[in-house]
Amino acid sequence: MTVPGSTEGFGQSSLVTGDAVVLDLRPAGFATRMTAFLIDAVVQVSAMILAFVLVARVGAGVDAAATAAISLTLTVLTVVGYPTAFETLSRGRSLGKMALGLRVVGVDGSAVRFRQALARALASVIEIWGFTIVALVTSLLNRDGRRIGDFLAATMVVQERAGTRRDEAITMPPRLAGWAQSAELSRLSPETAATARQYLLRFEELADDARHDMGMRIADLVARSVSPPPPPGVSPPEYLSAVLAERRRREEAKMARRAPVPGAQDDRPFG
């Protein structure tokens, strides 16, 4: 299991999205999702009450049909527009999800899109606001806690908060330190780096076959964005560790340059 070239040696097959699901996504617990929903519901109901009060005052002399139309529009904007806008603009997080460290993502780990957020919001009109029991039963029966809206939108809610200190467990293999410092990493996308990171952090949890197959596929994916190839005889875990450790070192160096130490005599770049 070596890395003789940028793609050769890891195989030519691309990373299967199912692998990304296994590696990247930790489904949120039912209780956590419910708490996040209650927070959002309080915000939405409060907004609707405030809107109705304003409409009642402003529309006192307005035609009843017009007042009803305005009220209906505000209700739709609150029930459908609120989650759609928040989840689209904040990449899957409403106020409730932000508070609980949750995020809506595609089942392949991709960032949620407008059409997915809209599909979830439209489904919530029936399964949450109309017949809450539907969402409750569906979430309880599905092992990933997905409701009907998630199935329609091909999404799921995941726990975003994990110990950030775990990144320090990914260390630089000494024999690859020199190669890593000269490697070109700018083309490595955050999504690919995140997949590699999760593979390494959960390496011990994986079965031997999964370690090998996933390691080959993920290393192949990373190698397409990193050059030059590493020295011969490097295993996928070593290769991925070197890439991520060097990437983290460079990011920390950038942060250090942006925050000069008080009393420093110059601002020359770190390293």
For 200-214, write each residue's pLDDT tens digit: 988 888 888 888 899
- Is 181 contained in some domain? yes
Q: Which residues of 70-87 are buried (b: 16+ CB within 10 A; e: fewer)?
A: bbeebbeebbbbbbbbbb
204 & 145 share domain: no
43 & 79 share domain: yes
Q: What is the pTM of this model?
A: 0.53
Which range in 16-25, 53-62, 220-229, 256-265 is most confidently predicted, on average pLDDT?
Answer: 220-229
pLDDT attached to residue 80: 92
- Is 205 contained in some domain? yes
**The pLDDT of residue 68 is above 70:** yes
Full residue range of the structural domain in which residue 151 is found? 27-159
pLDDT attached to residue 2: 45
Q: Hey, is 12 helix, strand or coil?
A: coil
36 & 155 share domain: yes
- Is 271 contained in some domain? no
**The pLDDT of residue 21 is above 50:** no
- In Å, the largest CA–CA distance within the chain is 81
Q: How many domains does the chain have?
A: 2
- Is 125 contained in some domain? yes
Tell me which amino acid residue 51 is.
A
Tell me which amino acid residue 130 is.
G
What burial class does residue 25 get, using C-beta atoms within 10 Å of its C-beta: 0-12 exposed, 13-18 middle, 19+ buried?
Answer: buried
The whole-number average pLDDT for the span 212-222 is 92
37 & 82 share domain: yes
Q: Provide the percentage of residues in the chain whose pLDDT is more than 70.
A: 80
60 & 180 share domain: no
Q: Hey, is 11 helix, strand or coil?
A: coil
31 & 127 share domain: yes
Are 157 and 96 spatial neighbours (Cβ–Cβ below 8 Å)?
no
Main-chain dihedrals φ then ψ at residue 56, nearest 5 degrees: -65, -40
pLDDT attached to residue 132: 79
